[in-house]
Amino acid sequence: MPTKPHRVLLDRVSGYAEEAAAFMRRRRVARRPFARLYYPNGRSSDHAADSVAGGELFVAAGRLIEVAGKKPKP
């Protein structure tokens, strides 16, 4: 007996949602801190945390994060 059409659809959507959730989990685990600068001409540059500029960018960004504090509770 063939599967009911709506079940096929549900299975497919659930499959996509599981794939997406797994992708997001992997991304959260694998993603490393980065500093990226964009210029008016469309150029962009990445600066590693162990470079001089990258280190300074992370320190300056850390101060801003400190100023902003935690997200206010709704």
Partner 1 sequence: MPDGGATEVVSGDAAEQALAYLAEMSPDLRGAAILDSAGAVLAAAGHPDRWREDAAALLDVADRAGGEPVEQVHVATEQGEVFVVRSAGLAAVAVTERFALASLMFFDMRSVLRDLAATAGRRDENRRISGEIGPSAPGSGEG
Binding residues vs partner 1 (CB under 8 A) = 27-28, 31, 33-40, 43, 45, 47, 53, 56-58, 60-65, 67-72
The CA-atom distances, in angstroms, between 25 and each of 11, 19, 22, 67 are 21, 10, 5, 29
Q: Which residues pair with 15 in a beta bridge?
A: none
Buried b (16+ CB within 10 A) or exposed e, 34-54: ebeeeeeeeeeeebeeeeeeb
Least Cβ distance, residue 20 to partner 1 (angstroms): 14
Residue with smaller CB distance to partner 1, 4 or 43: 43
Residue with smaller CB distance to partner 1, 6 or 71: 71
Residue with smaller CB distance to partner 1, 8 or 37: 37
